[in-house]
Amino acid sequence: QVQLVESGGGLVQAGGSLRLSCAASGLTSSITTMGWFRQAPGKERGYVAAIDWGGASTHYADSVKGRFTISRDSAKNTVYLQMKNLKPEDAAVYYCAAGLRPLITFLTYEYDYWGQGTQVTVSS
């Protein structure tokens, strides 16, 4: 089992920045991929970014490229999502997810464990 705990959400003005954290515990040696997803009210959960557990490869949704950066601290078993130039449309509950297959993917069903989510609110 893997446990994921997100933190770092909050209220920010448009154009501002936030850094989300996702701390993994449990059988972290089984993790191959970590992803960030988000879900706004009335919308499906959508892909944001992913990173392989080794931290060598990253991938981003087109909507966040150039503004968001995913990274990993191996010593802390923590994955980060640095978000800059936030827009009102970025407001959502952000979830981190862990996958056990060596595959960086935007598909939610490829991820095996999910955190509880952290709210990001962007005021215009």
pLDDT tens for each residue of the chain, 124 residues long: 999 999 999 999 999 999 999 999 999 999 999 999 999 999 999 999 999 988 789 999 999 999 999 999 989 999 999 999 999 999 999 999 999 988 888 999 999 999 999 999 999 9
Give the pLDDT score at 104.
84
Give the type of residue at 54. G
Which region holds residue 99: left if phi is over 0, alpha if psi is between -120 and 50, else beta?
beta
pLDDT score of 54: 82
Torsion of CA 5, 8, 14, 16, to 10 degrees: -130
- Map residue 109 onto helix, strand or coil: helix
Residue 1: predicted pLDDT:
93
